[in-house]
Amino acid sequence: MLNPLLANFATPFDTAPFHLIKPEHYVPAIQQSIGEAKADIAKIKEEALPTFENTIEALDRSGKRLGIINSIFFNLNSAETNEEIQKLAREISPLLTQHSNDILLDQELFQRVAQVFSHKETLRLDPEQTTLLEKTYKSFVRNGANLSSEKADDMRNIDQELAQLSLKFGENVLAETNKFVHFVSDETELEGLPDGIKEAAAQIAEEKDELGKWAFTLDYPSYVPAMTYAKNRELRKTLFQAYNTKCAKGDELDNQQTIKDILNLKYKRANLLGYSSHSDFVLEERMAKTPTEVLSFLESLLEKAKPKAEAEVKEVAAFAKELDGIETIERWDFAYYSELLKKAKYELDDEILRPYFQLEKVIEGVFLTTQKLYGLQFIPNKDIPVYHPEVTAYEVRDRNGKHVSIFYADFFPRAGKRNGAWMTSYRGQSLENGEDHRPHISIVCNFTKPTKTKPSLLTFNEVTTLFHEFGHALHGMLAKGTYESLTGTSVYWDFVELPSQIFENWCYEKECLDLFAQHYQTGEKIPSELIDKIKKAANFQQGYMTVRQISFGLLDMAFHSRNPETIESIAAFEREIMKRTDLLPKVPGMLMSTSFSHIFQGGYSSGYYSYKWAEVLDADAFELFQEKGVFDPETAEAFQKNILSAGGSEHPSILYARFRGRAPKQEALLKRAGLLQP
């Protein structure tokens, strides 16, 4: 029987044939495509004289089929996994790591790359070609090409172990999330919860064969509303403790030793390459070039944000005491009383806003916003295979009807989907032999599900999350370059959040909200006074949220910028690092590191600071849109050309200055967050 992963995809736009793929297809397909990629490399080495075209370009274009199969498999391992897929991941990951090392530690291949690199000044390359040459050469050096054979073997072993440990970390977090469910039998214990949330909880219980009860899980659409609205303090405490002790209970899902192993291996790897820490290694290829620069940036923000954050916490504590006689506000109290305080101060809460944010309308609003800015049209296409019935596939066209991209949207929590929200791609964009291979882009979220009586009604935070991930998607969809490794989101890690975070800004603009925010029952547009309240409440607890983000960035840097052998206890280390940013009483047993997937499973190790770094860029960039008009076509065209379409073709500081006319300034962020007087 023909393996669909190894055949030409007989699907619209060569999209992944999800409907034909079975688990048993993956390993044979990856093994064969690794063989094909090796043949590509062998052909490069057979060329007599190394040139940019026959070595650097050819290397970038090698292993295309392997890249596509790899994307399909690991994307599904995040969005639609099961025990069989996870077992396959543990088998496949070493194959891919070994193949990558076989390329990057191939001395004959490296010598060809080095020879081209040594003549770069005489090659008359354009900026994109220059970037590709430099990136290719550095990727070899930064992955051990200059190591002795003995040390190269050490590198191989480290990379194999790291790949397995990263998978194990993520599997444990998903298993722990799926494992927890809390049932409530007495409806009086649900006081404060909106009807829609109670209905959703009853639906979860029913799905688990517990009729007449309400169930709460650690999925965001269940956990966050319960923490925000449940008057029952014990319910909040139970959920908080479950959420914040994930993979830290000393059982088979505990991630503490896994973290130590990951940290030690990253440190050894960095040392092998001549770096004093993993952070030094990572930051060499970032806008913030050193740990010192990152820490200086975070400390500068902390100095401005902490006094405001402390005042905000005191305000909530005083409000809780006045309202309910709470003597000590605990961590499981903060979201609840903050929401009540916001409602008291601004006459605004998520339940007032939810009816205006029906998911289908918000999606339509995202599409309309994108159309007004960049001329894109989204056409649902049921002929494009999807990996789950809840996924919708769209063809994306430009204002002239020309094909731009494929876009997949996947919005609701499932047992096989990890928590959070992310953008990914199944195929990148590239230009080869005059043919523009357009990208296949996906966003995956965990939003409030529809119930039997209500459609999916989003919180305002979920609305901004959708815009955020769609900003990443635009970065992928509008890619316009030659080399796949430089297009779309293939940019410096502390630059990649600019397109996503700037897109959130439109959620606060009347011109944008008027496009889609209408009551799901009456069709009434969101009232102007509610939009004014959204704007006024935008700075609510910005100090607290800034300090919270900084705390994660500091913990990330602390883990990765020193010798981890000195870390005896992950829990004690976390407490020590975060005590400067702790604004609420510490909870015994609380440990967030063991589910800190961004840095131990994703690509954010020594990079969590980039969220705040990119906020400086997005606030500064959006200030130009505000000056010219949020839908100003010239500004949108400049942003598309120099940021969204440019990918990683040049250094981000060059691209940003080309768009903005200057380097970014921090003042716009401080002003927006209320940390600087206007």
474: nearest Cα among 575, 334, 378: 378
**Count of Cβ atoms closer than 10 Å to residue 181 Cβ:** 15
Residue 481 is which amino acid?
Answer: G
Angle between helices 233-243 and 220-229 (to 10 degrees): 140
545: nearest Cα among 200, 347, 301: 301
Structure tokens, 258: 């896994």
Structure tokens, 664: 């970014």
Q: Which of 395, 469, 504, 615 is catalytic?
A: 469
Distance of CA 637 to the CA centre of its chain: 25
For the sheet with 440-444, list strands across it: 377-380, 392-397, 403-410, 440-444, 422-427
Residue 642 is which amino acid?
Answer: N
Burial zone of 455 (CB within 10 Å; 0-12 exposed, 13-18 middle, 19+ buried): middle
Length of the chain (residues)? 678
- Rounded to whole angstroms, the Cα distance separating 427 from 432 reads 14
Q: List Cβ neighbours of 398 (8 Å cut-off, separation of 6 or more).
A: 375, 376, 377, 404
- Rounded to whole angstroms, the Cα distance separating 316 from 302 reads 20
- Rounded to whole angstroms, the Cα distance separating 48 from 112 reads 10
Task: Find tokens 């495509």 and name the residue.
Answer: 33
- Rounded to whole angstroms, the Cα distance separating 175 from 415 reads 9
DSSP 650: S
For residues 272, 276, 279 and 285, what is the CA-based torsion angle, rounded to 10 degrees?
Answer: -70
Structure tokens, 123: 């090659």
Task: Find tokens 């894109």 and name the residue.
Answer: 376
What 3 state SS string does 96-115 have?
Answer: HHHHHHHHHCCHHHHHHHHH
Q: How far is CA 288 from CA 336, 548, 654, in A?
A: 37, 20, 14
Q: How far is CA 376 from CA 348, 372, 478, 505, 554, in A?
A: 33, 8, 9, 19, 39
- 549 touches 614 (CB < 8 A): no
Residue 469 a catalytic site member: yes
**Count of Cβ atoms closer than 10 Å to residue 300 Cβ:** 12
Per DSSP, the three-state class of 523 is coil
Catalytic residue numbers read: 469
